[in-house]
């Protein structure tokens, strides 16, 4: 059974939402008519700051312990849970690279890397994989208010985005930046439209009509991405399309990981509340 990182997901999602609020405040007060690349750059810095702050105060460890307690059906595993969570931290990397566009048909990649912990009730064994990842492509779109119908102008898809849409739509999304409200420079909270179940013709229609059928907020997207219910877990796609090391879309990478030299071994047995027979047959592996 995989341990579900609900609490870790909520923590990262909260950091993301707070970073959006700080980005909106910065745009409203300091930056006039920013482009979508500017908004992404400002946001990535705010997210990095928020994640570092919660990581430094041990909130990532605490959230991970709560997830383990929710998933492992024993009550007295304190020492084991502390060992599992010790040294678990988070950080944000922002890879601001030139967009080539020939492979991704997007201008932003989101990669979430976090531990994968599998609990086996037989023998109470725990298996850990420290660098499990989920990725999502995002085509950032800036919607500007206009004095006619529709109320916002979003721009069009490029020819390359149209050509690659069918190949990438299973792990693609639109990231919607809305600029302008009561105040001309008001940046609203980000919204997302997943593209998995739609055609490129439908996406074109949304952009022209300023109408998106299933918008969701960032907290929803981040929690689902960490849970693995959206995006892709295909390592090759993440490494070559979403967050490659060479020329690529700019990428925001959120890492939840153990500090070097800390954390559990890849496979070990829990102690906890065991019968005398279980204590005799189990060995604690380091």
* Residue 64 main-chain phi, psi, to 5 deg: -65, -40
pLDDT of 99 above 50: no
CA 109 – CA 122 distance, rounded (Å): 39
CA 142 – CA 34 distance, rounded (Å): 10
Every domain of the chain and the residues it spans: 6-272
pLDDT at res. 274: 44
Q: How many CA atoms lie within 13 A of 131 on its CB side?
A: 6
Structure confidence at residue 268 as a pLDDT band (50, 70, 90): low
pLDDT at res. 100: 47
pLDDT of 275 above 60: no
Neighbouring CB atoms inside 10 A of 137's CB total 28
CA 242 – CA 249 distance, rounded (Å): 8
Instruction: Decide if 227 contacts 71 (C-beta within 8 A).
Output: no
Q: Which residues are CB-neighbours of 267 under 8 A, at least 6 positions away?
A: 125, 126, 127, 128, 285
Structure confidence at residue 2 as a pLDDT band (50, 70, 90): confident
CA 283 – CA 269 distance, rounded (Å): 7
pTM: 0.85
Average pLDDT of the segment spanning 78-91: 72
The percent of residues above 90 in pLDDT, for the chain, comes to 51
pLDDT in tens, 102-157: 667 677 899 999 888 777 665 556 667 767 899 999 999 999 998 899 999 999 99
CA 193 – CA 231 distance, rounded (Å): 12
């Amino acid at each position: 059974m995989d341990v579900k990182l609900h609490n870790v997901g909520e923590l990262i999602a909260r950091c993301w939402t707070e970073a959006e609020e700080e980005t909106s405040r910065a745009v409203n007060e300091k930056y006039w008519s920013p482009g979508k690349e500017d908004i992404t750059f400002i946001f990535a810095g705010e997210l990095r700051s928020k994640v570092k702050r919660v990581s430094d105060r041990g909130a990532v460890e605490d959230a991970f312990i709560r997830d383990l307690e929710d998933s492992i059906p024993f009550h007295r595993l304190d020492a084991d849970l502390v060992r599992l969570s010790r040294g678990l931290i988070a950080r944000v990397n922002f890879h601001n690279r030139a967009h080539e566009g020939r492979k991704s048909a997007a201008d932003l990649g989101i990669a979430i890397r976090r531990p994968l912990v599998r609990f086996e009730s037989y023998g109470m064994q725990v298996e850990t994989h420290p660098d499990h990842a989920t990725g999502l492509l995002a085509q950032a779109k800036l919607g500007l208010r206009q004095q006619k119908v529709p109320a916002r102008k979003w721009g069009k898809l490029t020819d390359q985005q149209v050509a690659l849409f069918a190949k990438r739509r299973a792990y693609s999304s639109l990231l919607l930046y809305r600029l302008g409200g009561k105040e001309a420079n008001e940046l609203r909270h980000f919204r997302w439209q997943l593209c998995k179940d739609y055609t490129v013709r439908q996406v074109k229609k949304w952009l022209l009509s300023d109408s998106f059928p299933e918008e969701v907020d960032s907290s929803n997207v981040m929690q689902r991405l960490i849970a693995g219910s959206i995006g892709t877990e295909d390592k090759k796609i993440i490494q070559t399309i979403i967050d490659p090391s060479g020329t690529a879309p700019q990428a925001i990478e959120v890492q939840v990981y153990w500090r070097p030299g800390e954390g559990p071994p890849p496979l070990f047995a829990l102690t906890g509340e065991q019968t005398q027979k279980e204590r005799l047959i189990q060995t604690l592996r380091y």
